[in-house]
């Protein structure tokens, strides 16, 4: 199957050992490898697809640990660079009472922000059938230039561009800056996945409906997806739009559900770009992606919760 190259950050989340406490009250933390683009790359290989991760890690114990995890899951690692000076990024994560996650980042700067355009493995990027990325790599130079160059190289080589902005407001100088920069690469993407929260943020309206989603449409876009947690997802194409219900599961931790959803969908699309134009086949692919996201919420952490294709198919069968 075709190669999915995922570009961006990989880091370690430190998650309190007990839930529902503030960072100050937490008695201890456990390491949880993450970073949305890395999660997507692993989601793909778990499902039996082929992926590579492109990004920079610190030349430290954490950086090598993360590279080891990618390799352990079969993600191609030729696109990983190690920075001699800066540390691997860390984030401390708390779950607020309303269930939303709150992040405190240690990036001053971290290695991922220091990837330079000339460090990109262009041969690897040119071999991508799908090139996937977020927006965190747009926040500062030189990583921003590396991101823009990698996108261009992938596009010129014929890859489908897949964008999940993954808004992390605390990392941006201001909300206006976040919106402006996230939108600055909007029209380059073939496929965009946002969450309901991101839809509100990007449109500046508190309405989550078709009109507000369609206000984000651009002429070159092939597929826009809005994920709605336990309500499933909505899809928009040039010719049709609709809703695919979520699967009922006992959710314990939603971390990584969106990345799992994206990884699953990209696995379906990578060898069959035309699936996007056929509503019934697209709906099947989105059911698969919803099931994949649902399973990811049933276990703690992102990466350990990513399912295999068999697990996804068995949830889909059981729910019919």
Catalytic residues: 259
What is the rounded distance in angstroms from the CA atom of residue 163 to the CA atom of residue 185? 9
Span of 80-88, 92-100, 140-148, 226-234 interacting with ligand ATP by CB under 6 A? 226-234
Q: Which is nearer to ligand ATP, 37 or 229 (CB)?
A: 229
Q: Which is nearer to ligand ATP, 51 or 81 (CB)?
A: 51
What is the rounded distance in angstroms from the CA atom of residue 129 to the CA atom of residue 62? 30
Q: Which is nearer to ligand ATP, 190 or 259 (CB)?
A: 259
Q: Which is nearer to ligand ATP, 73 or 146 (CB)?
A: 73
- Residue 197 CB, nearest approach to ligand ATP (Å): 7
Task: Kindly state whether residue 94 participates in binding ligand ATP, applying the rule CB under 6 A.
Answer: no
* Residue whose pair of structure tokens reads 């040119």 in the numeric block: 126
What is the rounded distance in angstroms from the CA atom of residue 57 to the CA atom of residue 63? 5
* Residue whose pair of structure tokens reads 């496929």 in the numeric block: 191
Q: Is there a contact between 6 and 39 (Cβ–Cβ < 8 Å)?
A: no
Q: Which is nearer to ligand ATP, 124 or 261 (CB)?
A: 261
Task: Kindly state whether residue 135 participates in binding ligand ATP, applying the rule CB under 6 A.
Answer: no
- Residue 261 CB, nearest approach to ligand ATP (Å): 4
Question: In the numeric block, which tokens belong to residue 269?
Answer: 């699309």
Quick one: which of 230, 277, 278, 284 contacts ligand ATP (CB under 6 A)? 230
- Residue 218 CB, nearest approach to ligand ATP (Å): 20
Task: Kindly state whether residue 13 participates in binding ligand ATP, applying the rule CB under 6 A.
Answer: no
Site for ligand ATP in 245-304 (CB under 6 A): 246-247, 249, 251, 254-259, 261, 290, 293-294, 297
Could you tell me which of 161, 152, 78 has the C-alpha nearest to residue 117?
Answer: 152
- Residue 12 CB, nearest approach to ligand ATP (Å): 16
Per the document, the length of the chain is 320
Number of neighbouring beta carbons within 10 Å of residue 278: 15
Could you tell me which of 91, 33, 84, 95 has the C-alpha nearest to residue 62?
Answer: 33
- Residue 301 CB, nearest approach to ligand ATP (Å): 12
Preceding amide of 142 cis, omega within 30: yes
* Residue whose pair of structure tokens reads 């919803």 in the numeric block: 290
Paired strand residues for 161: 131
Could you tell me which of 195, 191, 154 has the C-alpha nearest to residue 273?
Answer: 191
Binding interface with ligand ATP (CB under 6 A) = 195, 227-230, 232-233, 246-247, 249, 251, 254-259, 261, 290, 293-294, 297
């Amino acid at each position: 199957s075709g190669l999915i190259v995922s570009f961006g950050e990989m880091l370690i989340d430190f998650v309190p050992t007990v839930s529902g406490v503030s960072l100050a009250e937490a008695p201890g933390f456990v390491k949880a490898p993450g970073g949305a683009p890395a999660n997507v790359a692993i989601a793909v290989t778990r499902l039996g697809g082929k992926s590579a991760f492109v990004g920079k890690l610190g030349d430290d114990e954490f950086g090598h640990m993360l590279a080891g995890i990618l390799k352990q899951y079969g993600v191609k690692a030729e696109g990983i660079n190690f920075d001699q000076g800066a540390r691997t990024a860390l984030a401390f994560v708390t779950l607020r009472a309303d269930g939303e996650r709150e992040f405190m980042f240690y990036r001053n700067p971290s290695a991922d922000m220091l990837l330079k355009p000339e460090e990109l493995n262009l041969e690897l990027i040119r071999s991508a059938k799908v090139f996937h990325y977020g927006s965190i790599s747009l926040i500062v130079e030189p990583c921003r230039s590396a991101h823009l160059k990698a996108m261009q190289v992938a596009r010129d080589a014929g890859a489908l561009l897949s964008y999940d902005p993954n808004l992390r407001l605390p990392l941006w100088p201001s909300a206006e800056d976040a919106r402006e920069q996230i939108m600055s690469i909007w029209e380059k993407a073939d496929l965009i996945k946002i969450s309901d929260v991101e839809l509100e943020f990007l449109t500046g309206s508190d309405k989550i409906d078709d009109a507000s989603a369609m206000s984000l449409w651009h002429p070159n876009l092939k597929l826009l997806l809005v994920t709605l947690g336990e309500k499933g997802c909505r899809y928009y194409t040039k010719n049709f739009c609709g809703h695919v219900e979520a699967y009922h599961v006992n959710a314990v931790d939603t971390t990584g559900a969106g990345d799992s959803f994206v990884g699953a969908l990209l696995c379906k699309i990578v060898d069959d770009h035309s699936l996007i134009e056929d509503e019934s086949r697209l709906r099947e692919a989105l059911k698969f992606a919803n099931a994949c996201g649902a399973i990811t919420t049933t276990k703690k952490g992102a990466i350990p919760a990513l399912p295999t294709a068999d697990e996804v198919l068995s949830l889909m069968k059981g729910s019919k």
